[in-house]
Chains A and B, each alone.
Chain A
Amino acid sequence: MSLLTYDFVVRALLGALFTGLAAPAVGTYLVQRRLALMGDGVGHVAVTGVALGLLTGTSPTVTAVIVAVLGAVVIEVIREKGRTSGDVALALLFYGGIAGGVLLTGLAGQSAATLNTYLFGSITTISGADVWVTVVLAAVVVGAALGLSPQLFAVAQDAEFAKVAGLNVRFYNVLVSVMAAVTVTVAMRTVGLLLVSALMVVPVATAQQLTRAFRTTLMGAMGLGMLSSLGGVVISAYVNAAPGATIVLLALACFAAAYPVGVLLRRRQRLTSPFAPATDDPALAGLPDPHTVTPEQHVHEHGSDCGHPAVPHGDHVDYVHDGHRHAAHGSHYDEH
């Protein structure tokens, strides 16, 4: 591993590892609340924060965190209060953020190239101090996402129930927003503000192709995020490509690979899910039980190896073929 002898590679890998873990952890809750593009919005707002740092000569990371958190809280308030025109208000905030950023960067006398390192990431120029900030903030985000996962899950799943369970729904909603804002600014140096949302959403979309439960989706997304981040950095080091874009494309490649598998899994599950036993409507009680013997002769006996899907139906099994459901009845098969 000659790569690891370079300090900047080690720093890049550390930054990528922690961003790759934190972004999907927050992203899972955003996707659960159907706010998949929230990360993108916060990213746009954070551009203004970066530019503010450049203009005032302070650390762009610090100003980006502050502005992104403010923006995330405003988005959350708009979402909670204004139900009807929420997405329009969000759009105003997004474009205000990026336009303000470009304007302020110009005023600060900085070139577009400087802004580009934040928009699309520049993981190889990340400094030692930056790595520490990334690691600590990402660890806090991951800790909250995992430690508070029952609460955050319940609030995102059903806010009214969570409220009656005594949870402070507004606190947890704002917490997720703040976590998203922190993650965006942490990921700013790795994948860049314009691509960070991909790292929040794509691993979650990939994981849920194969999962049925929330916990496994969360864990799977974090694993996938970590793999694509590390893989993206390594690949980009060898082929001399932009690390941020490589990370995102790698994550998308994982999704492209998982999607057909998910389609197959869901199809199989649909075909083999049990038929409901006939429960008679009281009004229809007294109808004679239909007993239809299959007309065609079976050249084989239905069984576990006959190749026809065996689907549980009440207390027995139906064998599905050519649009019919055949159930064994003594020496013949019935239509079910």
Chain B
Amino acid sequence: MTPNVVEISDAAVELGGRPVLRGIDLAVAPGEVLAILGANGSGKSTLVRTMMGLVPVTRGQVRLFGVPRGRFRDWRRVGFVPQRVGAASGVPASVREVVASGRLSRRRPFLPASREDRAAVEDAIAAVGLGEKARDGVSTLSGGQQQRVLIARALAGVPDLLVLDEPTAGVDVHSQQALADALRTLVLRGASIVLVAHELGPLASLVGRAVVMRDGRVAYDGPPIAAFTEAEQRHGQDPHHLDLARRFADHDPAVASPLDTEEHR
């Protein structure tokens, strides 16, 4: 039997001594598309960063493709799209150069990129619809386009598991659709996807399972219900403050809303 792509058992995470995640049990099967939802500060990002080995667990265990995370070396099977803080850095970099970083898990130091590497980079750039911008500087692109560059970078490695941290935050509907199309081809190839989102939007049709984080614990785990996808239709309303978000609101008193009833606290 093929092992689960991600398996987290009884995990707890502390950041700076403060417990952020506790009692997390989560398994992602091969080919599954999982959305992690929840309010700001509920631990969504920490959860995926824990999967990726960027945050240590204080108890419990994380396994990637059946291997304990500490001993996992097969990073070419994993693609990661971090939360976008601007793809630009102190020196200009072209779209193609940033996307080419996605092949590094398959390349050896000092050896030039192979024909296969270059083809995969071009394919990934085309998959997110930036073919004409491959030579442009990343810093000259719009926020949505920069996000697509980061996604192309992860796609270039042809991963079996793609983890995306808020890929749709601040991205217009047009770019979200391009993103959904790119992810669909990956799913058809049998890859698993874990994505963090505030709202599903155009991605809703892809997602087979949703996990709602609330205050560092898993509050819901099951098929995505209609409420998760409605955000897109309600305009003029901040998606963070939808009814769903209210019900699963953070414990921080500063953000407590009047609709937070006792049974939900």
Are A34 and B113 in contact, with the CB atoms below 8 A? no
Are B80 and A150 in contact, with the CB atoms below 8 A? no
Identify which of residues 12-30 in chain A touch chain B, using a CB-to-CB cut-off of 8 Å.
28
Are B101 and A162 in contact, with the CB atoms below 8 A? yes
Are B105 and A165 in contact, with the CB atoms below 8 A? yes
Bound together, the chains give a CA A165 to CA B158 distance in angstroms of 12
- State how many angstroms separate the Cβ of A187 from the closest Cβ of chain B: 20
**Residues of chain A at interface, number, CB under 8 A:** 39
User: Is B68 an interface position by the 8 A CB rule?
Assistant: no
Identify which of residues 21-57 in chain A touch chain B, using a CB-to-CB cut-off of 8 Å.
28, 31-34, 36
Given contacts A158-B101, A161-B101, A214-B97, A282 and B232 within 8 Å (CB-CB):
yes
List of A residues within 8 angstroms of B136 by Cβ: 212
Are B89 and A33 in contact, with the CB atoms below 8 A? yes
Question: Closest residue of chain A to B175, judged by CB?
Answer: A279
Q: Is the interface of A mostly helix, strand, loop or mixed?
A: helix
User: Is A167 an interface position by the 8 A CB rule?
Assistant: yes
List of A residues within 8 angstroms of B186 by Cβ: none
List of A residues within 8 angstroms of B137 by Cβ: 212-213
List of A residues within 8 angstroms of B96 by Cβ: 213
Are B140 and A273 in contact, with the CB atoms below 8 A? yes
List of A residues within 8 angstroms of B154 by Cβ: 161
Question: Closest residue of chain B to A152, judged by CB?
Answer: B109
Q: List 17 A-B contacts (CB under 8 A).
A: A32-B91, A34-B89, A34-B90, A151-B104, A153-B97, A160-B49, A161-B82, A161-B153, A162-B101, A164-B52, A164-B53, A165-B80, A165-B101, A165-B102, A167-B105, A212-B140, A276-B142
**A: which residues have CB within 8 A of B?**
28, 31-34, 36, 147-148, 150-151, 153-154, 156-158, 160-167, 204, 208, 211-215, 217, 269, 273, 276, 279, 281-284
**B: which residues have CB within 8 A of A?**
49, 52-54, 73, 75-76, 78, 80, 82, 87, 89-94, 96-98, 100-102, 104-105, 107, 109-110, 113, 135-137, 140, 142, 150, 153-154, 157, 172-174, 232-233, 235-236
